[in-house]
Structure 1
């Protein structure tokens, strides 16, 4: 399955899946296409926020969640939900950001700050899904 990418954007939903670092770019493109279909159109600041949340959660899934991800985007009148699933059942681990060595640790803090709600649920299968709800 290495290098597999699935992308589908229809009004109200956006889906992307992959198992390689190129998937991060694909997921960002899916988020931009998804937000471009929303009515009313979100402002550029909201689009940037959604793309950043997608980028961070997909990166974490690829690095720490078993090397595969599935992204699902959905919208309600007052929010956009970013759902990223991966095959690792372990919840994300918050750690102190590495300010000196470039070792990361910033993503979960950023997502928490940008999301109205953040949740981790079991599944699908043996993995988990991370949900981030961003206000519109």
Structure 2
């Protein structure tokens, strides 16, 4: 049986994604994005596919590691553009701490910003949704 969406209409943890996969790991997200890229005629060993998979991996990993878990995973291809949306349970906007020797890591968010053509962060009372857009041509 379907679990109803949150008050703002966004799916929460364990809620179905309306035809989208129930992604709980970055590996599952990469598999899904790889499949839709192949269906769109994108060769998986291309630079475009690598960029799409890196963006997907980083968004999902950040949601798990820093955002309290994945609350939404949605992908769409419209025309020659891939849209990857990942929701999490944190209302905090991503920050980069790259270059801070006291904190390891910090490369994911700047990498997403560099590879995506456009990024949109939509806060809502129960967290946020980050949508990254990547041109496929």
Question: What TM-score range do you get, normalising by the shorter chain?
Answer: 0.7 to 0.9
User: Is the counterpart of residue 45 in structure 1 residue 47 in structure 2?
Assistant: yes
| Aligned pair partner of 2:37 in 28, 35, 41 | 35
Kindly provide the CA deviation profile for residues 61-120 of structure 1, in whole angstroms up to 9, marking residues without a partner as x. 00000033432110111210110001111111122245x688111011111111000111
Structure 1 residue ranges without an equivalent (≥5): none
Residue 78 of structure 1: aligned partner = 80
Which of the two has higher C-alpha Rg? 2
Is contact 1:7–1:17 with CA below 8 Å preserved after alignment? no
CA distance in 1, matches of 2:38, 2:65: 28
Is contact 2:17–2:73 with CA below 8 Å preserved after alignment? no
Aligned length in residues? 121
Structure 2 residue ranges without an equivalent (≥5): 1-13
Larger strand proportion of the pair: 1
Map 1:1-136 → 2, pairs under 5 A: 14-18=20-24, 23-38=25-40, 41-43=41-43, 44-97=46-99, 103-123=104-124, 126-136=126-136
**Is the partner of 1:80 in helix, strand or coil?**
strand
CA distance in 2, matches of 1:32, 1:69: 21
Q: Given the two structures, how large is their TM-score scaled by the length of structure 1? A: 0.77
Q: Given the two structures, how large is their TM-score scaled by the length of structure 2? A: 0.76
CA-CA distance at 1:122 after TM superposition: 1.5
Moved over 6 A (4+): 6-9
Please provide the CA RMSD for this pair: 2.5
